[in-house]
Amino acid sequence: MKTWAVVAIVVAAAAAGAVAYWSSGRGLSPDRGQTPPVGGQTPPAAQLVATLPSFRLADRDGQMRSLADWPGRALIVNFWATWCAPCRREIPLLQQLGRDHAAEGFQVIGIAVDFRDKVLAYADQMQIDYPLLIGEQEALDAAAAFGVPTVGLPFTVFSDRQGRIVTAHLGELTAAEADLILAAVRRVDTGELTPAQARADTDQALAALPPPSEDD
């Protein structure tokens, strides 16, 4: 395990002033400066809302968008920031998931809790090919709308095609974890499982995975 280096980063927030974020080599938490490591955890089911919340954020072109703009798609909603190291490490995996599973109805949406100019520059540099929604405090509020009171970055929510939340993942996502979660979403979409059943099965399967190595 790498030594956690905690750095205070201040993000401006409209008329309310500045909001302090604490980041580390493994993630970020706006409240306590600690986050799950690689191969993170799922928040308690009681905290999560049942369906995708309603909010609007600007996309790369400055157009206001909501998650309802991708109807009939099973969403992979990833909250991230350019200064968050595990967020940056996740991007190639998210791009691959989007490409490999688009035909099955999956759609990756990135939500950046960051300054717009930095997000646009980094997205161009990394050639991010999935839609991005961008905000500062507004994006953090959007993450909290999913029902998790203390949001760490990265934070990824998985929904079925009806907009029902199947599970959420706090911390850096690995390929093995993604495979298990997407398999559960498929079973929900076919009616084999309810979201609650899929979440319980997924939590058990994720707990049985070996911890990721530093090379993963």
- 55-92 pLDDT, tens digit per residue, is 999 999 999 999 999 999 999 999 999 999 999 999 99
pLDDT, averaged across the chain: 82
Is 115 a member of any domain?
Answer: yes
Residue with tokens 């809790």: 113
Q: Structurally, how many domains does the chain consist of?
A: 1
Pair of tokens at residue 27: 């993630």
Helices (runs of H) and strands (runs of E) counted in the chain:
5, 10
The answer to whether residue 149 is domain-embedded is yes
Residue 120 is assigned to a structural domain of this protein: yes
> Would you say residue 46 has pLDDT above 90?
no
CATH of the domain at 138: 3.40.30.10
Element (H, E) at 133: strand 132-135
Per-residue pLDDT tens over the stretch 146-202: 987 677 899 999 999 999 999 999 999 999 999 999 999 999 999 999 999 999 999
Determine the pLDDT at residue 40. 54
Q: Tell which residue, 160, 82, 168, 85, has the closest CA to residue 128.
A: 82
Q: What are the pLDDT digits (tens) for 105-123?
A: 999 999 999 999 999 999 9
**Which pTM does this prediction carry?**
0.81
By residue range, what is the domain housing residue 198? Answer: 35-208
Percent of the chain with pLDDT over 90: 70
